Chain A
Amino acid sequence: MLTSNQIMEINHIVQIGRVLLDEHDRYSYSFDASFGTYLPDAVVQTKHVEELAELVKFANQEGIPIYPRGQSTSLSGGPLPVQGGIVIDLSVMNDILDIDEEDLVAVVSPGVLTSAIHKAAEEKGLMYPPDPSSSHVSTIGGNMAENSGGPRGLKYGVTKDYVIGLEVITPEGEIIQTGGRTVKNVTGYDLTKLIVGSEGTLGIITKAILRLIPKPPATATLMAIFSNLVDAGRAISNILSSGILPSKMELMDQASIIAVENYQPMGLPKDAEAIILLELDGHPLALQDEIIQAERLCYVVGASQVKIPKNDMEKEEIWRARKLVSPAIVRIKPTKISEDATVPRSKIPEMCERLQEIKRRYQVHLVLFGHAGDGNLHPNIICDKSDAEEMERVEKAVAEIFTAAVELGGTLSGEHGIGNMKAPFMEMELGTVGLDMMKRIKKAWDPNNIMNPGKIFPEPGQKLELK
């Protein structure tokens, strides 16, 4: 709890912004898109970087925990104020969005919505490739802190591949710059890359320079239907090894297909075991050739049907199927545990088998879809939070999903981050020393452990809890 003196001081420091202390406001900053509710003692909104740095300095002196927050769409508990303290709402810091066509960069404030950057870049014939499906709601600051990815990751990489410079408030309240406006930069340690993906534990990002690329002139789409999940897996590797690099390659399993069909019938075959959706981008002439080649490759491994849309409307219709998966599956049961275990591409068929086994063993409603092209699968378990017995089985199933991913040479998280949810599994992936090296970095940056405490690193004895 903050003392009244501390509150007075905070109110004194925050002049341009505002400090929210009412219970209704504090409760409104107590959750994200994952689990758990933690009440902060105060919420601060300010557009002023120096003011914010001053506040962090004070918090550091007093040992008050600070939690940066974008729009709280995190699926891993990232912005939750798990130890009380102050939530900093950075979504209000949204005034800069400059596109520099000559340097091919965008300069942005952390609260700008990712979709706004997409739009601004496209208006100038450019592209900012990272495209989390939450781009219409999530902030670029949140994307950087989580190192978000999306379907285009396959061809273009993820957020970290496009952040070249940052302005950051350190946990001790200093303002530093990392990187710059050049794509090439090898001066010293790459702090930019260290901060991207650090989930707000190493500082607060207050400005960023993002790399842009020319927008590909055209796209082509293909949908292939398979009566066998393993064939679908083979189609994926065949296409990728044929020299075609799709911009997106998405997989939907039978459970997803059925859920979508039951939710909004659009003529998907319910008896198919898998659907693959493909998008290619590039020069229109090259696309004509590549899409036919991709179609042939799908048929070769046993696709039962391949559809190539003829116009934009048909194209959209095809992608709509994929977009509907998430909303469709929560109609089955209210709670959705959305995982993002990621495996090397070659291990996708094996991972699929392991998941089917987990589904059977724990009798959970597991739905599988995701960015198959880069191995980033989204096994989702659909359950009911209020059913304690079921949640116990779900917890075990989730733990086993992580184990399977790591055993197959993959990772706990492809894009949603670790937060407080996956912290208990960190050592499994990194090993004791690996995790300890990370802890030492954290200690050096944030000696008083005030910046987003309780995230990434497990507390002694911490276990996954979904109840």
Chain B
Amino acid sequence: MNETMEQLRQEFQYDKTNQCVQCGYCLPVCPTYMSMGKETHSPRGRINLVKMVGEGRITDLSVLEEPLSLCLGCRACETACPTGVEYGSILESARAALVKRKTFSFPTRLVRKMMFKKVFPSKSLMNFTGHSFWLYEKTGVQKLMRKSKLLHKLPHHLGEFEAIMPKAASPKQRAHSYSYVKAKGERKYTVAFFTGCIMDAMFHKINDLSIRLLAEAGCDVYVVDKQTCCGALHAHSGEMNDAKELAKRNIIAFEEIEADYIVNNAGGCGAMLYEYAHLLKEEPKWKERASVFSAKSKDISQILISCGGVPDLKIRENERVTYQRSCHMTNVQKVTAEPVQLLKGIPGIQFVEMKEANMCCGSAGIYNMVNYDESMKILDEKMKHMKETKATVIITTNPGCLLQMKLGIERENLSSSVKALHLIEYLADAAGMK
């Protein structure tokens, strides 16, 4: 490819790598450095590789592929870095620069194109995915598949994932979606609810409960129809143009409602919404609007706390609860106190923090499917700490983490004694909602 050094430098954000003083403070917090045990899979190592490209020392870009694709993007390194290196941004641009130059094998290209361009952004297709799961369960295909051991033959370990899929909502349940719910009692805020693509397709119930909890806590809740996928999976896979396109569609959709806040219940999506301002900062026409959008984007736990918590929680007995943090909520949105505060507000529960609570669980978007083995090493480490807490409930705030925890419970044969739940499910149950 005929390109100048300068171009490469810019695309790879070489300037940002110079901020790194190579002190290594980020090493002990990096899950892939821990599990794979080499500098190549550490933040400092990855930044250095990008830097080497910028300095023209690495010219064969394929050298970067494995180290970058094995990064979880959890951004714990960013939180640990004393000098404020924008690792996320370096990773994002390096991945985009690689994707741009890469010719994927035909099937991969097809799947990427289908998933990124067609499925995630399309409400009806995501709905269809949801329906398919429901059909799959209802028609007995699931039983058949499970019995025939065919599942183990599926690629990408889909078999293992199949076992932990949440119970799908029926088309009837799905058809019933809120578009507006009025605040109980005195209204404290007007909020617009962000449904998310995967959240909506696979965890429809949690979305419903979120909306009702918000209303219960005193919010007028709107669900804008034209919203779409947040674009996080696209951005993390280097498909920046798609991510920007989706961001713009969401900004337009949510501008229709003059809400005080745009509320989401999925840590990963939330972080993406929170970063629209960064994503579109170089587009003069969108910069301002994106900033407004991002400033209004909040995790549901923040809003529930601002409203004074969830009213009328019943006592729970004999439950030891631990909380698996969503990395993006911790390291990007920096929302860490509120979920714990909400949990501790439930009378009767024992809250136990696990060791290395801030460490990623290895789910990381579609990382656990694409890099299954590496992901499982990280999960196993997490489950070790989880077991030490003797918790009976693991709470998460992100769909990916939730599924990963369920997978962890299956792998450890703990399904009879431990369950994994989304914070909202747990709160709703404690509030007596069905």
Contacts and interface: CB of A to CB of B under 8 A. Distances in A.
Interface of A: 20, 22-25, 27-33, 37, 43, 45, 71-73, 89, 92, 113, 134, 136-138, 326-327, 330-331, 334-336, 385-386
Contacts of B253: none
Contact of B25 (A31, A37, A45, A136): A136
Contacts of B67: 24, 28
Given A33-B21, A33-B22, A72-B24, A28 B37 contact: no
Contacts of B24: 33, 71-73, 134, 137-138
B39 to A, nearest CB: 4
Contacts of B28: 113, 136-137
A331 B63 contact: no
A148 B429 CA distance: 55
A138 B64 CA distance: 26
B279 to A, nearest CB: 24
A86 to B, nearest CB: 15
B233 interface: no
A101 B73 CA distance: 43
A327 B45 CA distance: 20
A32 B60 CA distance: 23
B82 A326 contact: yes
Nearest to B22: A33
Contact of B58 (A23, A113, A330): A23
A46 to B, nearest CB: 12
Interface residues of B, number: 28
Contacts of A23: 58, 60, 63
5 contacts: A24-B66, A25-B40, A28-B42, A37-B57, A327-B84
B82 A24 contact: no
B52 interface: yes
B83 interface: yes
Given A20-B38, A23-B63, A92-B37, A31 B49 contact: no
A327 B83 contact: yes
Contacts of B37: 45, 92
Between A22, A24, A136, the greatest number of chain B beta carbons within 10 A of the residue's beta carbon is seen for A24
Given A27-B52, A134-B23, 6 more contacts: A24-B66, A25-B39, A28-B45, A32-B22, A336-B21, A386-B18
A164 to B, nearest CB: 27
Interface string B238-258: 000000000000000000000
B27 interface: yes
B42 to A, nearest CB: 8
B142 interface: no
A386 B19 CA distance: 12
Given A28-B38, A136-B28, A330 B83 contact: yes
A27 B58 contact: yes
A137 B57 contact: no
A386 to B, nearest CB: 8
B48 interface: yes
A28 B49 contact: yes
A23 B48 CA distance: 13
A28 B28 CA distance: 16
Contacts of A33: 21-24
B83 A29 contact: no
B40 A24 contact: yes
Give 6 nearest A-B pairs by CB, closest first: A327-B82, A28-B39, A28-B45, A28-B40, A137-B24, A33-B22
A138 B25 CA distance: 9
A315 B401 CA distance: 38
B27 A71 contact: yes
Contact of B49 (A27, A71, A138, A330): A27
Contacts, number: 80
Contacts of A43: 38
Interface in B46-61: 48-49, 52, 57-58, 60
A334 B313 CA distance: 52
A385 to B, nearest CB: 7
Contacts of A330: 19, 21, 83
A157 B140 CA distance: 73
Contacts of A73: 23-24
A376 to B, nearest CB: 19
A432 B349 CA distance: 72
A163 B262 CA distance: 58
B111 to A, nearest CB: 26
A92 B18 CA distance: 28
Interface in B9-41: 18-19, 21-25, 27-28, 37-40
Nearest to A39: B57
Between B19, B40, B49, B67, the greatest number of chain A beta carbons within 10 A of the residue's beta carbon is seen for B40
A22 B65 CA distance: 12
A24 B21 contact: no
B91 to A, nearest CB: 15
B117 to A, nearest CB: 30
Contacts of B82: 326-327
Between B45, B58, B66, the greatest number of chain A beta carbons within 10 A of the residue's beta carbon is seen for B45
Between B21, B25, B48, B84, the greatest number of chain A beta carbons within 10 A of the residue's beta carbon is seen for B21
Between A43, A89, A113, A136, the greatest number of chain B beta carbons within 10 A of the residue's beta carbon is seen for A136
Contacts of B18: 334-335, 385-386
Contacts of B63: 22-24, 27
A336 B66 CA distance: 31
A37 B21 contact: no
A248 B84 CA distance: 28
Between B18, B24, B60, the greatest number of chain A beta carbons within 10 A of the residue's beta carbon is seen for B24
A326 B84 CA distance: 12
Contacts of A386: 18
A28 B51 CA distance: 11
Contacts of B25: 136-137
Nearest to A116: B28
Contacts of B22: 31-33, 72
Interface in B61-91: 63-64, 66-67, 82-84
Contacts of B48: 27-28, 30-31
B68 to A, nearest CB: 10
Contacts of A20: 38, 40
A1 to B, nearest CB: 17
A27 B61 CA distance: 13
A335 B39 CA distance: 22
B39 A137 contact: no
Nearest to A87: B39
Contact of B83 (A22, A71, A137, A331): A331
B83 to A, nearest CB: 5
Contacts of A138: 24
A137 B23 contact: yes
A327 B57 CA distance: 28
A25 B45 CA distance: 9
Nearest to B82: A327
A327 B19 CA distance: 11
Between A27, A31, A72, A113, the greatest number of chain B beta carbons within 10 A of the residue's beta carbon is seen for A27
Given A24-B40, A72-B39, A92-B37, A37 B83 contact: no
Contacts of B40: 20, 24-25, 28
Contacts of A71: 24, 27
Contacts of B52: 27, 37
A333 to B, nearest CB: 10
A289 to B, nearest CB: 36
A137 B64 contact: no
Contacts of A30: 48
A14 to B, nearest CB: 14
B39 A331 contact: no
Interface string B148-173: 00000000000000000000000000
Contacts of B42: 28
Nearest to A138: B24
B90 to A, nearest CB: 14
A385 B15 CA distance: 11
A247 to B, nearest CB: 23
Interface in B290-309: none
